[in-house]
């Protein structure tokens, strides 16, 4: 399947992975930079260093790999929203306000310690999420599965991940078609009708997923499936300069992280 066929539709993260400039780079090259920065993010405490890690990851995504900013923003919106909401929950306590509370509203209040912990959580989580997103936005799932096989990950886990990935597109296609049909029939004209339409959408999607999964299982059994779908991996040369530069960046940030603890 060509890149052009994959970039026209589907999740934004998949379109970015198939259309970026680092698409043909080895998974090892990108993993050294991404996972290295992830380790540094988990071991870092200063907020400014978290911000530096995020800046490095964004530079790699937008400038190095040249992922479209709109696609990157769509992918990063969900984890950023989740992180911010989680941080707000960590910063706010419920009950009788402590003596050092900086603000209170009814049963809700916050103290300096909880706010500091929340800010640190946001910085560390954003840095870690950015490092992982750098790998997922530049590497197609098929390359990740091939790398997992080479890394001796249990074949069953790899095959389950591959099947879930493939079924995801089936579910998205079914859900999109059902919703388009509902909208053409004014299925979302009011709140009451919209609730019924959403229920029908979920029902149709789950029913289709069940039927497709059964057909897939029967087809694999008919073809003598023995637990592994063997494919010919695409040859990927490892760029020593790229790996060396990535290692230098990771080591430099790691040294700064250790010195500022």
How far out from the chain centre does Cα 46 lie?
A: 24
Which of 175, 140, 198 is closest to 16 using CA atoms?
140
pLDDT in single tens digits along all 261 residues of the chain: 333 333 344 577 888 888 899 988 899 999 999 999 999 998 888 889 999 999 999 999 999 999 988 888 888 888 899 998 888 888 888 887 777 778 778 788 888 888 888 888 899 999 999 999 999 999 988 888 888 888 888 888 888 888 888 788 778 888 888 888 888 888 888 888 888 899 988 888 888 878 887 887 788 777 776 666 666 666 678 888 999 999 999 999 988 888 877
- pTM for this predicted structure: 0.76
Residue 226, both tokens? 């023995």
**110 neighbors 101 (Cβ within 8 angstroms):** yes
Contact in structure between 20 and 137 (CB atoms under 8 Å): yes
């Amino acid at each position: 399947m060509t890149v052009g066929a994959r970039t026209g539709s589907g999740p934004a993260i998949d379109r970015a992975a198939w259309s970026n400039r680092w698409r043909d780079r080895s998974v090892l090259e990108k993993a050294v930079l991404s996972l290295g920065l992830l380790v540094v993010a988990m071991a870092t405490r200063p907020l400014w260093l978290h911000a530096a890690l995020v800046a490095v990851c964004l530079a790699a995504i937008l400038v190095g790999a040249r992922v479209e900013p709109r696609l990157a923003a769509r992918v990063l919106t969900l984890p950023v929203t989740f992180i911010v909401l989680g941080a707000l929950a960590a910063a706010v306590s419920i009950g009788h306000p402590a003596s050092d509370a900086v603000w209170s509203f009814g049963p809700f209040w916050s103290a300096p310690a909880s706010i500091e912990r929340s800010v640190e959580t946001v910085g560390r989580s954003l840095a870690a999420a950015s490092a992982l997103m750098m790998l997922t936005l530049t590497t197609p799932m098929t390359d990740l599965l091939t790398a997992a096989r080479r890394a001796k990950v249990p074949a069953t886990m790899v095959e389950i991940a591959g099947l879930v990935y493939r079924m995801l597109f089936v579910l998205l296609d079914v859900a999109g078609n059902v919703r388009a049909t509902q909208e053409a029939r004014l299925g979302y004209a009011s709140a009451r009708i919209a609730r019924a339409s959403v229920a029908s959408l979920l029902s149709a999607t789950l029913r289709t997923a069940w039927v497709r999964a059964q057909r897939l299982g029967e087809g694999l059994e008919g073809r003598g499936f023995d637990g592994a779908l063997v494919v010919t991996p695409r040859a990927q040369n490892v760029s020593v300069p790229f790996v060396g530069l990535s290692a230098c960046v990771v080591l430099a940030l790691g040294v700064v992280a250790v010195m500022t603890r």
